[in-house]
Every structure is written in C-alpha cells, then in structure tokens.
Structure 1
Amino acid sequence: MKSKLSFFDLVIVGVMASVGFSMLLPAVLRQRAAARNVLCASNLKALGLAMHNYHAAYNQLPPGLGGTVGGEDDTSNQGRLGPIVPLTPFLEEQPLWEKIANPYVSPKTGKRFPAMGPAPWFDPAEYDPWAATFSTLRCPDDMEDKPDASKQEPIVVMALAMPDLPPGAIDLATLCNYVVCYGDGTYMMGENIDVKDVEAVNRVRAGMRGVFCGNQRMRFRDILDGLSNTLAMSETISPGENDAKESHIAQGIQGLSLNPSLCLKAHDGDHADWWGVRRGSRWADGTLAISGFQTVLPPNSPTCLSDLGMDDPIASASSRHADGVYALMTDGRVVFIRDSIDCGDSSKPGVSVGEGYARPGSQSPYGIWGALGTRASKEVLPNPNPDLAPVESGTVRNRNGQIQRGGNEDKWTTWTDRDGKHRLKARVNRIIDRETVELEDTKGILHRVPLNTLSDQHIVMAVMMYEMDLESEAASKSE
C-alpha cells in the first residue's frame, strides 16, 4: 500500500533541496573560475609546445623582432613582427600563416601586400591577417573584463560548421595576453639593431640576456642556465574600458633604465604623459613594450617608456589572476609566480655597457625574478621556491594562492551533428525557445542550430550546460 506525503513532508523536502542547492551553487561558481584559470595555463602550454616544435623544425627559436625591412609601412613590416607570427602554423593556424607568408590581395580594397605583410600597426581592416583572432592568445580572466565587447553586434550564422567571415565582419581588437621574456636588461631593450652597428651589437650582447631578444638568433643550446630554470613567456593585461591604468604605458620618464622603480612612482602619482599604444594591443607586433616583458619589476607592475621612446622600456608581466601570473618555462612547464617573489632592488640599473650600469656577465640585481629571466648568468635558484609553483594538469590556484583542482565547465567542446558530417569547436551561449541552441565559436561567431540536428550526446550536453548557467546566474544575483 502506497503512502501519500503530507503537506508538511513536502515542505521539509523542499527546504532540504533548497539548502542542498544553495551549497552546490558556490562550488559550481568556483569550479567555473578554476576552469578559466586552467584554460589560461593550457594556452601557455600550447604556446610552449609550438615553440618547441618550431625549434625542432628550424633549430632555433623565433626572434623577438623579425621580418622584412625598408620601404613604406604597406610594403614592409619594418622588421617588427613578433614571435607569435612564425608560431602560427604550430598553433593549428596554418591557413592564417599561408595568408601571411604569401602575397596577399585585400578582398575589401583590392590592395596588394607582399609576403610577410605590412607593418603590424597597418590598418587590419585592409590587411585581414592582422585582424585574425584565435582563442589560444586570450586569457579567459582578461576577456571577462571586456564590457565593451558586449556592445558589438555579434555575427550570427544558421550553421554548425565554421563559416567564412563576411567582408567587414572582423574584430579589430587584435589583442594578445601572452608576452615573451627579454630577460633582466634595462637599457634600450626594445631596439631593433642594425648588425653593422658594432656599438649596438655589443650593447645587445651585454644586456639582452633573455630567451627572446631583437633580431638575434637564439637556440636551446644558448640557454646555459637550463631550460627548466629560464622563463620564456608570461601574461599581460590587454586593453579594456575598466582597467584604469593597467594596460596603459607611461612615457617620457628620464633615467628609467638606471632606476626602474621610477616606473612604479609614475603610475602611483598623477603622471599625465601616456603612450598612445597599450599592452597586448597587437598580437603580430613584436615591440617589447607591447608584446614582451622584462624580469625587473615584480609581477603585476606597470610598464613605462623612458624619454628615449619605445626602444627603451621597462615592461612588466601582469594578469587578472589573484596574487600572481602564469608563466611558461623554456622546457615547456607552466608555473604560477606570486607577486611576492624576490625581486631584489628595483632602483638599481640593469646589466649593459656604459657608465652606471652593472657589468656584463654580472648576476641579476633583481633577485630570483631577475635570475629566472636570464639564460646564461649562472645564478643558483632556491629549490623549492614557494613563490614559483608548478601547475599540474587539471590544477589551478584559487584566490588564496592555494592549488585547487579545476573543473571542465568552461572548456571548449567539439560539437557534431546527428550525421557526424559537421564539427565545430564552441561553447553554449544559450538555448532559444527550447528548440535552438546558440553556440559561440572561438572567433566569437554565434551559431544557432536546431537542437534536434545535433547528436544525442550533444543534445543532452547542451541542455545540462545551459541549466547550469541559469543556476550560476541566479546565485550571482542573490549574492
């Protein structure tokens, strides 16, 4: 005989369900934040793998600055291409590389460009490859702080397969959150030298002590401190409406290379002279102040230019993660480096030739952080180092700096249709009228696909992920 639940029993069940639900949602939100951090670390891992594959193919690393020189900005890239450009075919972006490496005709204007393209600051509306965006170059935490992106009209297609971008439908915000390490030098580190200039060559050899530098050829065998002890890449905050001064670059600071701490004072005060270009604003541009960093000021410090301009910067690693930055060691490991890492004395000058600078061959004046940036200075690093923690697969750091096992909720999913003919790497944006799933691909294009055309597995997945999003939104509003 079946017993019926009384009204009182139903109330008790409802209360218990509500309590359980309220306990579950914060965990879901934490897991989502953890997943974003995992994805950021995975991006650096992918860049490290591309770097190693490039070295295996060409027996050298891509230069910090390279390309063609001479002519106008539309006939030469002025030797300012960054290392991300030659890495594109190793980042599963072969079609993009083919456009760059061959002569190109703009579909919009008919203008012709030579192989390797124009200057990286050339109008990306005319030279489409400079407007290319791919998810590997963006940290999800940095993308979260882009309210201006929501104001842009999205591209919507009624298809599951990746479409060709219609003319003019290109995101001009060609941002990149990952920057390469130039070492601990402070004087003229952003200079694109002429190999015939003996003085400049000697200065470069003395001061450019990182894995990446100018147009100088670098191999793994040149990293005498060991690949596992030398930084290759880290992060930077890219432009956004709400970042205050975080991606801005102060300029015109006299004596910066002799006293890098002047950069900290400029950003703390009422400095009014700001460079017109900002950190991470052009993925193809190898200019140090835009796409590189030095291990001089602590992580999450500002970036500045001296009165000598963009050739003489102090560029810092930065991120929107709590208490530190993710970084790629040259051996391919990803580590989390705390802001509190030993950075020595930032008021001291770096190594260079010339009066007032540390002598060539000296150990870094910037502590463990500076030592991590040098490739052959024979510094001895402490082991273990509490401010430099390895990031294991599937782990991230929470806001207390503790390792936290990450979830998979925000990872991209490869969606397939019922017949298995079409595939698309995307994530669920929303479900419309319980009949259509809206997927957002890695280029920001929205695909509105009837649910019943997806595979059974992905129908269930779409509904579950969408319901989890609703629960997360409800929890956020209630806090």
Structure 2
Amino acid sequence: MTERTSLSRFSIRDLLILITVAAVVLALLLPKILRARERARKSMCAGRLSYITLAVHNFHSTHKRMPQAMGATLLGISDRRSGVVELLPYLDQQELHQSISQVLIIDGVRFAAGGSVPWDKSYLPWQVQLATLRCPSDASQEGTFASVNYVFSVGDLVTNLHSPVSKDNVRGAFAPGHAIRFREILDGLSNTIMMLETATKRGHSIAGQFVVDVPIEKMQAPQDCFQFVDPARSDRYFKKTRLSDLGRGGNWADGAGGYSLGHTILPPNSSSVAIEGTAAVDGIFSASSRHLDGCHAAMCDGAVVFFSDSIESGDLGSEPPSAITDSDGNYIRSPYGLWGILGTRASRETIEERLSH
C-alpha cells in the first residue's frame, strides 16, 4: 500500500515536470513559429502585389496604356470607379467582369450593363472579395464593401488630386482621369513606384484609416498630418478624431483617394487625411501595412520592394508640387527625399540608392 502511494506521488511529480518543460519549450518556440508564419504571409503578400503588376503590364500590352486610377470605363460608362474594374479580366476575374458588363437584376432592381456607382451597397459585384487584392497579414474585416490592400501610386500630387488638368500635372505613375503609358515614365520603370500597400481599418489605428473633413487652413504642409496622432500612442489617432467610415482600401471598386490611391510623401505607416470632404477630395493618403516596420511597393518594372518606415522623406514642411515642370519649363524635384523621388514619373531625378527586392 505504501509502495503504491509513493509511485503515484512520483508519477504526478513527473507529470508536473513534463508540463513545465513543455511550457518552457513552447514559450521559446512560439515567437519563432509566429515569425515564420509572418514571413510566409509577407512573402505571399509580395506575390499578390507582383501578380497585380503583371496584370497591369498585360493590360498595357493590350491597350498601350495603364488603367486610369479613377474613372475606369466599361461600356462607355466613366465615373468614380477604380482602375481595378478595368483590370479584372487580367486578374483572372473574367466572370466577374462579364457580370458587370451585362444587365443584372438584384432583388427586383434592374442594373444597366456597365454596373452601378461604386458606393451602391445593393450592387452585389462590389461585394465580391477578391483574395488577390488582400494581404494575408491583414485580417481586418470591418468594411461595408469588399476591400483592397494595394492602391495606385499618385506620387506627391495633392492639389486637384482627382481632376488633374493635364498629364503635365500628373506627377505619379497613376492619376484619376488620365491613362499613363510606360514611355511617359521618364524616370525609368525600375525607379518609379506603381502600386503601394495599405492596411485596412482597425479601430483608431493609423495604419488603415484616414481623417476626414479636415479644414484646408489646418493643412499647409504634409507635416500637419501628425497633429491628429495621439502622442501617448503614436500608432493611433486621437479618439475624438473623425475618421472615415470605410477606411483605407475600404472599397476596391471606388477610385476615391482614401480607398484606392497612395502618396509617396509621408513615410509608410504615417497618418492620412482627406481635406474638406470624405472621399474624392484632395488629401494625403499614406502607404501602410500590418507587417513590421514598413510596407511593400511595386515598381513599374514589376519588382516588389519592402520599404521601411524610416525611409528618407526630405522636407515635410514643403508644399507639395502641382506639376512636373515650373513656368520656366524646369523639372520640379520632389521635396520629399528618396520616398518622394521614387513616386515621381518624370521629374528627371537620379537615384543612387540600391533598392533591395
């Protein structure tokens, strides 16, 4: 009887030791496992962005131009729709593109061929979530519409963002209302950013959100965007700040700046603002991600690069340029350092830094 009790106590003690050792081993291994999973998600994210740039190249081969960032046309209809709508057949979404191209009757409502406006919640094609457009590291699912993690780069253009007068005002690879050709990217395809990554909204997190209805007098320079950031939590906006209902990338079909455009002005994961409005208005819309310390961007030659939050961004107190050249015909260099230079398409800047792919 005494021997059985001793063995029982020894077994329990042994089990407790085993549990303790297992817990310690798990605690040591878990960070490595999580890092390995994030590396895999990050790699998949880069792959999806690369796939989108390939779609843009195939589109260009067919149409001799890139899509418009906003104002995509389908059956002669042009509105606030994102260039993603035009890209659908090149993203292996021929069926979705075809459904938009034909008359649809949804819950008794007849939608004409070409589709409805992108903010129409009842138009079901805008609710189709495309896995290709989503970063695996961003699990946010707060939106009303299907979302997107990859947006069109407009460089450092802020004034008349949604209605540049002419291509002479288009400083980035993309712009609403204008379709750029590769031969018009004078700084070189390998030196010009095509697409930027953005997180989607998650509470008051700066990554994935933007401030709306900011008075113009409060925005004299890009650095003014930081006034909405809570100094106690540098990755959050102040709680009482009015933020977008949809957030960054909140509707892949809508070409409005907050949802589908990105600037190379403030470094990645900086704050974003919409000036005197909530959607298709001037503003500064920063790149962001749920990766650590940076985000992906795709160059016009198809290369995908991860850029750090600490990338050199020049003088954020300078007013954003509004054209490629000044009144004397001199090319206007981006005042926003390497980050700004990488966003411009035809400012004749040179890049000495080697970009790591």
Q: TM-score range by the shorter chain?
A: 0.7 to 0.9
Asked whether the equivalents of residues 264 and 343 of structure 2 are also in contact (C-alpha less than 8 Å), the reply is yes
Aligned CA RMSD, in angstroms, stands at 3.2
Shift of 1:210: 0.8
The separation in 1 between residues aligned to 2:131 and 2:297, in whole angstroms, is 18
Q: What is the aligned partner in structure 2 of residue 294 from structure 1?
A: 263
Residues matched between the structures, number: 336
Q: What is the aligned partner in structure 2 of residue 91 from structure 1?
A: 91
3-state DSSP class of the match of 1:316? coil
Asked whether 1:348 is paired with 2:315, we answer no
Q: What is the aligned partner in structure 1 of residue 273 from structure 2?
A: 304
TM-score if structure 2 supplies the norm length? 0.83
The separation in 1 between residues aligned to 2:144 and 2:18, in whole angstroms, is 50
Shift of 1:378: 1.0
Residue deviations 1:31-68 (CA, integer Å, cap 9, x gap) = 11211111111110111111111111111101111246
Shift of 1:173: 3.8
Q: Which of these residues, 134, 137, 149, is aligned with residue 138 of structure 1?
A: 134
The separation in 2 between residues aligned to 1:59 and 1:78, in whole angstroms, is 19
3-state DSSP class of the match of 1:50? helix
The separation in 1 between residues aligned to 2:118 and 2:277, in whole angstroms, is 21
Asked whether the equivalents of residues 40 and 140 of structure 1 are also in contact (C-alpha less than 8 Å), the reply is yes
Greater share of residues in strand: 1
The separation in 2 between residues aligned to 1:175 and 1:49, in whole angstroms, is 20
Question: Structure 1 residues 226, 138: closer, same or farther in 2, change over 3 A?
Answer: same
Q: Which of these residues, 48, 52, 59, is aligned with residue 53 of structure 2?
A: 48
Q: What is the aligned partner in structure 1 of residue 301 from structure 2?
A: 331
TM-score if structure 1 supplies the norm length? 0.63
Question: Structure 1 residues 312, 39: closer, same or farther in 2, change over 3 A?
Answer: same
Q: Which of these residues, 111, 117, 120, is aligned with residue 118 of structure 2?
A: 120
Q: Name stretches of at least 5 consecutive residues in structure 2 with no aligned partner.
A: 1-9, 231-236
Q: What is the aligned partner in structure 2 of residue 320 from structure 1?
A: 290
Asked whether 1:282 is paired with 2:251, we answer yes
- Identify the range of structure 1 (181-190 vs 19-28) with the bigger mean alpha-carbon deviation: 19-28
Asked whether the equivalents of residues 118 and 254 of structure 2 are also in contact (C-alpha less than 8 Å), the reply is yes
Alignment of 1:237-276 (within 5 A): 237-241=199-203, 243=205, 246-255=208-217, 258-268=220-230, 272-276=241-245
Asked whether the equivalents of residues 207 and 269 of structure 2 are also in contact (C-alpha less than 8 Å), the reply is no
Asked whether 1:187 is paired with 2:159, we answer yes
Q: What is the aligned partner in structure 2 of residue 413 from structure 1?
A: none
Question: Structure 1 residues 227, 67: closer, same or farther in 2, change over 3 A?
Answer: closer
Q: Name stretches of at least 5 consecutive residues in structure 1 with no aligned partner.
A: 1-6, 70-74, 149-170, 192-199, 391-479
Q: Which residue type is aligned with residue 356 of structure 2?
A: A
Q: What is the aligned partner in structure 2 of residue 389 from structure 1?
A: 356
